[in-house]
Copies of this chain bind each other. A is one copy, B any other.
Amino acid sequence: MPQTVHPDHKQIVTADVVLLTVVEGRLAVGLLTRENEPFAGRGALIGGYVHADKDRDTDATAARVLRDKTGLEGFFIEQLATFSGPKRDPRGWSISVAYLALTPLQRLTNVLGEASRVSLVPVDQARDLPFDHGEILAAAVGRLRSKGAYSTLPARLLPEVFTLTELQATYQIALGVPRIDKSSFRRKLNELALIEPVEGLRAETGGRQAQLYRLRQEISVFERRL
């Protein structure tokens, strides 16, 4: 905490959100085409200045920025890390609090038309991002991979109600593993009481209809890995 007089440098303080979802079986990141310099016309993470007068804290900044740019609210979002330095922004020394947000693709369908500035790019194709956004994206994917193994984070990539096969597929995509054993996966979900069945079945294509489930808690972290 400050011991000396407040220095009169004007600092650039921003929040940047890595919005992740699943598109055609692959993890994808929401990018916003920049209107202003620097890097006008390029796709960048969804971010904006912290407004000390409006924002309760940087968490509120992140939520506000997401709302302003997508028109949607209620995303799952958590703080990731803070990035800073003189070179990450060509305008000078800057500091950015980065956030990880997850959403089902279904929520975004209205936002993705031709007119929209939001685009979804598979994370392994999102190279050469402006600023240090490549580094921030890598941190976000790393967080999802590591924390996803012992939490219900990946379920936030699905709608509230889902089948167990969908959930397993989502875990495989989020964690980047080729195959999770069906039987083990289900047994652990039950033992840890992570899910509960809801009324209704669903058949994706021909075949037996699947039971629908939802999470019992918004988010759970546990000891064992899935």
Q: Which residues of B contact A53 (CB under 8 A)?
A: 9, 93
Choose from B4, B9, B12 the contact partner of A2 (Cβ within 8 Å): B12
A194-215 CB contacts (< 8 Å) to partner B: none
**Would B3 and A12 count as touching, CB distance under 8 A?**
no
A4 to B8, CA, bound (A): 22
Contact surface of A with B, Cβ cutoff 8 Å: 1-4, 6-14, 16, 32, 34-36, 44-45, 47-53, 56-58, 79, 81-86, 89, 91-93, 95-97, 130-131, 133, 223, 225
Cα–Cα, bound, A40→B154 (Å): 46
Which B residues lie within 8 Å of A45 (CB)? Answer: 1
A2 to B13, CA, bound (A): 9
Contacts of A3 in B (CB 8 A): 32, 34-36, 47-48
Decide yes or no: A81 and B79 within 8 Å by CB, A11-B11, A12-B6, A51-B9 being known contacts.
yes
**Which residues of B have CB within 8 Å of A9?**
51-53
Q: Which residues of B contact A44 (CB under 8 A)?
A: 1
A79 to B93, CA, bound (A): 19
Contact A93 B133 (CB under 8 A): no
**In the complex, chain B residues whose CB is within 8 Å of the CB of A96:** 1
* A36-B3, A47-B2 known; A56-B85 Cβ under 8 A: yes
User: Which of chain B's residues have a CB closer than 8 A to the CB of A89?
Assistant: 1-2
CB-based contact A47/B1 at 8 Å? yes
Q: Nearest Cβ distance between residue A153 and chain B, in whole angstroms?
A: 15
A57 adjacent to B85 (CB under 8 Å) = yes
In the complex, which of the residues B7, B13, B34, B83 contacts A49, with contact meaning CB atoms closer than 8 Å?
A: B7
**B residues in contact with A81, CB < 8 Å:** 79
A92: chain B residues within 8 A (beta carbon): 52
Q: Are B14 and A133 in contact (CB under 8 A)?
A: no
- Give the residues in chain B near A131, CB-CB below 8 Å: 1
